[in-house]
Amino acid sequence: MDQNSEVFEFLVTDEYDGMRIDKLISELIDSLSRTYIKKLIDDKKVSCNGKVVKASFHVSENDEIVMEIPPVEIPQILPQDIPLDIIYEDDDVVVVNKPKDMVVHPAAGHYKDTLVNAIMYHCKDNLSGINGVMRPGIVHRIDKDTTGSVIICKNDNAHQSIAEQLKEHSINRVYHAICYGIIKEDEGDVTAPIGRSTTDRKKMAVVPGGKYASTHYRVLKRFEEDGFTYIECKLQTGRTHQIRVHMSHIGHPLLGDEVYAPGRHSKFKTNGQCLHAKTLGFIHPVNGQYIETDAPLPEYFNHLLNVLK
């Protein structure tokens, strides 16, 4: 066993009696994916009562489970000459209009073609290091299939300032979206706590005891014939998947959302949710001036607005 490995030891209680060991571990340590847990088991890093087991092994009450998690090897993240749509830039910050299908920062199994790879090439060594080598300059993120404004920090001072503004929810973050159904009210607020789904750990949901979350929406246009509504959403808080979860919660999930619009189908192809981070307003970390940027809608979004009726 590697001396730098992390070791988990636990005793099976009666509520887990008869459960598969891979499912047991995923329930006890929800930060690990089922795929990674299976790899640990296949690599003989999991034992029950001193004997290595397979993923299909069923545990019994009072079984002693030991799991070894080897130290993570941090891969080298390399700059890549990827074109960027830069909306604003100075010596401290850059605001980029992120395209669809681009991941913001590297993660396990995805170390190339991210916004970080592109921004490393653009900014060279001028990026904040607070979030480590995997996320240089990154202070917030948007989903892979969400387009629009992302702010990058070039130094730690800027990073700390923007991070504090995000924590205080003082940054003006306005999104545009197209959702299923006709929203009757011209505007409204969805205030409902968001946390990890109790039925699917990969999803977020409105759950009792979740983190406070509030979204203000305003109708920009109704497409009565096709049954869609074009809306503007202003984040009062910044929870994971907040707009997607809140709009689904009130019965108006986003067009193209493959996670939060179950059973909804459309003739319009969007390659993921129809959501765009349009406006980003913040206090400049050095001169104290209010900066507001506007990211133009992507081509697919404008096309939808032109063909919807």
Q: Give the DSSP letter string of 264-302.
A: ---SS--SS--EEEEEEEEE-TTT--EEEEEPPPPHHHH
Q: Which of 143, 186, 200, 294 is catalytic?
A: 143
Closest by CA to 230, choosing from 173, 144, 304, 143, is 304
CA distance 162 to 93: 10
The verdict on whether 42 is a catalytic residue reads: no
CA distance 248 to 226: 18
* Residues 218-224: contacts with CB under 8 Å, at least 24 apart: 218/186, 218/187, 219/183, 219/185, 219/186, 219/187, 220/176, 221/305, 222/182, 222/183, 223/308, 223/309, 224/182, 224/309
| Cα–Cα distances in angstroms (integers) from residue 239 to residues 91, 191, 217, 228, in the given order | 29, 12, 16, 25
Q: Which residue has the tokens 């995923």?
A: 26
Active site residues: 143
